[in-house]
Amino acid sequence: MPHVVFVCTGNAARSVMAGAILAAHLDDVEITTAGTHVVEGMPMSWRTREALAGLDVTAPRHRSTQLRDPHVDTADLVVGLAGEHVAYVRRTHPDAAARTGTLRRLARDLPGTSGPFAERVAALDLAHTPLEAWEDVIDPAGGDLPEFEACARDIHLLLGQLAPALRPDGDDALTRGET
């Protein structure tokens, strides 16, 4: 069972959405969500909760958590929702840099590879891959509900592309378009 850590800034919207969406569809993946600059113990915003509800997904026990060494030390894959999150992991947790990439890059590059999971991730050379603007999932913070809903749909689509790489059989609701 791979351990996937999703990272955003406040652990109140994007990483929460990613973790909840993946957890709703894959039960054989361990999921952690965390942020780079967090007020600990806060619930997700109401807009995040409503955007997830629009996908029939919930995360009722969520409380914001700062990214820490134990999260990245045990992760098979650290997924940043923007380049700044990958840069943060590279800077503060350099041993995890080779297992850290943006959701957009991983959704594009990881599914087409074959072999053991750790080898497929290593083959991407993530620690040395330049971060590019196209990789960011737009932060809905400060926006209204439609921005949060658009973000949740974007993350859902990207996870649909990444999910087959996390499950060798590739059979999951995300890739079939179910929610």
At residue 98, the pLDDT reads 97
At residue 142, the pLDDT reads 92
Burial code (b: 16+ CB inside 10 Å, e: under 16) for 102-125 equals: bbbbbbbbbbeeeeeeeebbeebe
The Cα 176–Cα 117 span in angstroms is: 22
The Cα 51–Cα 165 span in angstroms is: 25
> Above pLDDT 90, what percent of the chain?
80
Rg of the chain, C-alpha, whole Å: 15
At residue 164, the pLDDT reads 87
Query: Taking the model in full, what pTM does it have?
Result: 0.92
**Residue ranges in the chain modelled with pLDDT below 50:** 169-179
Q: At what angle do helices 46-53 and 145-166 cross, to 10 degrees?
A: 60
At residue 107, the pLDDT reads 96
The Cα 160–Cα 164 span in angstroms is: 8
At residue 173, the pLDDT reads 42
At residue 144, the pLDDT reads 97
At residue 17, the pLDDT reads 98
Pairing of strands 77-80, 100-102: parallel
At residue 178, the pLDDT reads 47
